[in-house]
Amino acid sequence: MNYLRVIRNNWKKCTFGACVSVYALQSLKTHIEIEQYMREFSAKAQSNAAATSERPKKVLVVMNPVANKKRSEKFFKNYCEPVLHLAGYSVDILRTNHIGHAKTYIQELASLPDAIVVAGGDGTSSEVVTGLMRRRGKLCPITVLPLGRSVQDASKKFPIFGVKDVEYVKSLCSALEPMLKDESKYQSVLRFDVINETDDDEQHLKPIYGLSGLSWGLLKDIDLAKDKYWYFGPLRHYASAAFRYFADNWSLKTDYVYTPPCPGCIDCASALQRQEDVPLPAGRFTNILFKYKKSIPSEEPARALVKNDNCSNKFEGSIEANQINIKCTQNKDNFAELESQFISSLEPGWDYIMQIPQVVGSSSILPTLVVNSRTIQLHPAGEMADKFYSIDGEEYDARPIKVSVVPNAIKVFG
pLDDT at residue 92, as a whole number: 93
167 & 196 share domain: no
Backbone angles phi, psi at 252, to 5 degrees: -130, 145
286 & 396 share domain: yes
As to burial, measured by CB atoms within 10 angstroms (0-12 exposed, 13-18 middle, 19+ buried), residue 383 is exposed
Give CA–CA dist 364/356, Å, rounded. Answer: 11
Backbone angles phi, psi at 283, to 5 degrees: 150, 180
262 & 395 share domain: yes
pLDDT at residue 149, as a whole number: 59
pLDDT at residue 269, as a whole number: 63
pLDDT at residue 315, as a whole number: 92
Give CA–CA dist 355/365, Å, rounded. Answer: 9
320 & 224 share domain: yes
Boundary-marking domain end, from 130, 152, 182? 182
pLDDT at residue 270, as a whole number: 61
pLDDT tens-digit profile, the chain (414 residues): 677 777 777 778 888 888 888 888 888 888 888 999 999 998 888 887 766 656 668 999 999 888 877 788 888 998 999 999 988 899 999 999 888 899 999 988 888 999 999 998 888 888 999 999 988 778 899 999 888 655 433 444 444 444 457 888 888 889 999 998 888 899 999 999 988 765 554 456 778 898 888 999 888 888 888 888 888 888 888 888 888 888 777 888 999 999 988 877 766 666 655 543 433 333 434 333 333 333 334 444 445 566 677 777 899 999 999 999 999 988 777 788 999 999 998 888 888 888 888 888 766 788 999 999 999 999 998 776 567 888 888 888 888 999 999 888 899 987
Question: SS in 3 state form for the chain?
Answer: CHHHHHHHHCHHHHHHHHHHHHHHHHHHHHHHHHHHHHHHHHHHHHHHHHHCCCCCCEEEEEECCCHHHHCHHHHHHHHHHHHHHHCCCEEEEEECCCCCHHHHHHHHCCCCCCEEEEEECHHHHHHHHHHHHHCCCCCCCEEEEECCCCCHHHHCCCCCCCCCCHHHHHHHHHHHHHHHCCCEEEEEEEEEEECCCCCCHHHCCCCEEECCCEEEEHHHHHHHHHHHHHHHHHHHHHHHHHHHHHCCCCCEEEEEEEECCCCCCHHHHHHHHCCCCCCCCCCCCCCCCCCCCCCCCCCCCCCCCCCCCCCCCCEEEEEEECEEEEEEEECCCCCEEEEEEEECCCCCCHHHHHCHHHHHCHHHCCCCEEEEECEEEEEEECCCCCCEEEECCEEEECCCEEEEEEEEEEEEEC
163 & 210 share domain: no
51 & 157 share domain: yes
155 & 111 share domain: yes
* Angle made by CA atoms 104, 284, 201, in degrees to the nearest 5: 85
Q: CATH number of the domain that 381 lies in?
A: 2.60.200.40
Q: Are 58 and 89 in contact (CB under 8 A)?
A: yes
87 & 31 share domain: yes
254 & 159 share domain: no
Boundary-marking domain end, from 182, 216, 233? 182
Q: How many structural domains is the chain composed of?
A: 2
pLDDT at residue 113, as a whole number: 92
247 & 123 share domain: no
**Amino acid identity for residue 139 in this structure:** L
Domain of 344 in residue numbering reads as: 189-413
Boundary-marking domain end, from 156, 182, 208? 182
120 & 205 share domain: no
Q: CATH number of the domain that 137 lies in?
A: 3.40.50.10330
- Cβ atoms within 10 Å of 259's Cβ, excluding its own: 21
Q: Whole-model pTM?
A: 0.79
206 & 338 share domain: yes
